[in-house]
Amino acid sequence: MRYPEDVVEEVRARNDIVDVISSYVHLQKKGSNYFGLCPFHNEKSPSFSVSPQKQIYYCFGCGAGGNVISFIQNYENYTFPEAVKLLAERAGITLPEVTYSEEARKREDLKTELLKVNKEAGKFYYYQLRNESGKTAMQYLKNRGLEDETIRKFGLGFARTGQDLLYRYLKDQGFRDELLKICGIFTYDEKRGVTDKFWSRVIFPIMDVNHRIIGFGGRTMGEAKPKYLNSPETPVFDKGRNLYGLNHARTSRKKNMILCEGYMDVIAMHQAGFTQAVASLGTAFTSGQANLLKRYTEEVLLTYDSDEAGIKAALRAIPILKEAGLTGRVIDLKPYKDPDEFIKNLGAEEFEKRIENAENSFFYEIRMLERDYDLKDPQGKTGFAEATAKKILRLKSRSSGTITSKPSRINTV
Ligand SMILES: [Zn+2]
């Protein structure tokens, strides 16, 4: 009996470790952590610590440590499924009844194998960036303002030019073609043989919430097209149900999440201290992603590019956020195009102000709607009023879609 990975993750995310452990151990806050007497060994002064940021516990006396699920396992002497069950009930989550069929088990095994391939490929790219052949790529990242620590945190790598460098490396590691054919990072061609998908690109490993590499994005350093190339969907890479940067953002403990357009934006934001930044994976924002965000936050701030494409993307994302029961606000990046550029020019403090002043998504929608009508013309005025009324009606009919912030920048109607 095993629960699906995403269900376990939801159970973990919805049970704050400090809340849970507090009902067993008397905890006191010291700095950013909590301390108490260790329930796993006898002691008189507290050496048992709980970190709300990392959502883990650790005892400096006996070395016991883990996450909220392993705490319940150890304290209650429960098996993993029993601990998950207890915590699911505590958080009001209904668990699916799962018994694995032969076929389902095979599928799970395949996923495990694919994750191994990705992990090895990620390592290969990581070291390529750090040896002689990766010098220009490293310089490129430094020129873009990335610090060593940031490059390491996101596991950035480099794919240098070469027909099948990665392929040969993975074959040497003993991976079978059967597996490499479906992992999405090679092209199999009868005439040309096997070629690596990424050539001469900076590599962004895409990770799930458990820091496992599920896919890759590659960015050119010059003018080559496309600028970004993503590996395709595979049994472990569902683009509609994962977000770039969420593995770090989910423990940021900020009161919102920031949705950006690109990987570089996410990385620049994290480096500037906005560790709640995430991005969708080269495709439009989906309801699966909105539901994923709902596990960690109530409010999502959009920082899409300030150009037409960015506005369109924001207008598409807003109803999806509402549908998932999330409050949306839009960050104004003007006069800059994207958050990366904004932070480089005006700094983190200014960006923080833009977060505070982010516009309620409803007013943003109305303001954008206004652009479609000529308000000097009576007919245009009527059309705009009607369209606005329609939006308000829709807003009223939705119980979760209440307006929570004051109108800030609306100047017509
Ligand atoms: Zn202990």
Write out the chain's pLDDT in tens, 413 residues.
678 888 999 999 999 999 999 988 999 999 999 999 998 888 889 999 999 999 999 999 989 999 999 999 888 877 888 899 999 999 999 888 766 678 878 888 899 999 999 999 999 999 999 999 999 999 999 999 999 999 999 999 999 998 899 999 999 999 999 999 999 999 999 888 999 999 999 999 999 987 899 999 999 998 888 889 999 999 999 999 999 999 999 878 788 999 999 999 999 999 999 999 999 998 899 999 998 898 888 999 999 888 888 899 999 999 999 999 999 999 999 999 999 999 999 999 999 999 999 999 988 988 888 888 888 888 888 988 888 888 777 766 654 444 444 444 443 33
| CA 36–ligand 1 middle distance (angstroms) | 10
Task: Name the DSSP class of 226.
Answer: S
Superfamily (CATH) of domain 102-237: DNA primase, catalytic core, N-terminal domain (3.90.980.10)
- Beta carbons of 147 and 178 less than 8 angstroms apart: no
How far is the centre of ligand 1, averaged over its atoms, from the C-alpha of 46 (Å)? 9
Q: Is 151 exposed, middle or buried (0-12, 13-18, 19+ CB in 10 A)?
A: buried
> By CB neighbour count within 10 A (0-12 exposed, 13-18 middle, 19+ buried), where does 285 fall?
buried
Instruction: Give 303's strand partners.
Output: 260
Ligand 1 center to residue 31 CA distance, Å? Answer: 20
Ligand 1 centroid distance, CA of 48 (Å): 6
**Domain locations along the chain:** 5-91, 102-237, 246-396
The hierarchical CATH code for the domain 246-396 is: 3.40.1360.10
Q: Please give the distance, rounded to the nearest whole angstrom, from the Cα atom of residue 60 to the centre of ligand 1.
A: 7
Q: CB-hemisphere CA count at 13 Å for 9?
A: 17
Structural element, H or E, at residue 175: none
CATH fit for domain 5-91, picks 3.40.50.280, 3.90.580.10, 3.30.70.260, 3.40.50.300: 3.90.580.10
pTM: 0.74
Taking the centre of ligand 1 as the mean of its atom positions, its distance from the CA of residue 43, in whole angstroms, is 8
Give the span between the Cα atoms of 247 and 399, in whole angstroms.
31
| Ligand 1 centre distance from Cα of residue 396 (Å) | 54
From ligand 1's centre to the CA of 17, what distance in Å? 17
Whole-angstrom distance, CA of residue 168 vs CA of residue 174: 10
Distance 42 CA to ligand 1 centre (A): 7
- Tell me how far the alpha carbon of residue 58 lies from the centroid of ligand 1, in angstroms: 8
